[in-house]
Amino acid sequence: MILMHRVLIGTIFYCLLSSIGFGKEVKATLDLTKGLAPLSQQIIKVNKNDVVRLVISSDEPGDLHLHAYHLSVHLDPKMKSVLDFKAFATGRFTFEWHSGIRSSLPQMSHQKALATLEVFPE
């Protein structure tokens, strides 16, 4: 129920952003398998002020973070998750995958970047 509530709020946020004159709507997909994205999905290119809707599926539970934007979404293998946001900063920003299996070792808490968001000036 909480996850459905979060998806509904994200959908409302996405619709509001796209209706009040921000950049274009960009839809992208990440289909994660064992914490890895397919090569064809590893770079997401948008322009500054675009409204991004990222639909994510995963075969394992965990969290996906877009650190520079301070965004994260919890992933459940039984359902797709949606991350809606405005691309407000230009540059290259990495998505990191954090497995649902938590480690007590600090060096194990972060894995390598699985995808990159490239935001170009308008």
The predicted model gives 55-83 an average pLDDT of: 93
What is d(CA 10, CA 65) in angstroms, rounded to the nearest whole number? Answer: 16
Contact 76, 100 (CB under 8 A): no
Beginning with the edge strand found earlier in the chain, give each strand of the sheet holding 51-58 in spatial order. Answer: 25-32, 51-58, 81-86
User: What is the rounded average pLDDT of the residues 31-40?
Assistant: 93
Compare 37 and 97 and report the one with higher pLDDT. Answer: 37
Neighbours of 109 (CB within 10 A): 12
Q: Where are the domains of the chain?
A: 2-120
Confidence of residue 67 (pLDDT cuts 50, 70, 90): confident
Confidence of residue 24 (pLDDT cuts 50, 70, 90): very high
Q: Stretch 44-71: mean pLDDT, rounded?
A: 95
CATH class of 2-120: mainly beta
User: What is the residue whose two structure tokens read 């994660």?
Assistant: 32
Residue 103 pLDDT grade (very low, low, confident, very high; cuts 50, 70, 90): very low
pLDDT (tens digit, 9 = 90+) per residue, 106-120?
444 556 688 999 999
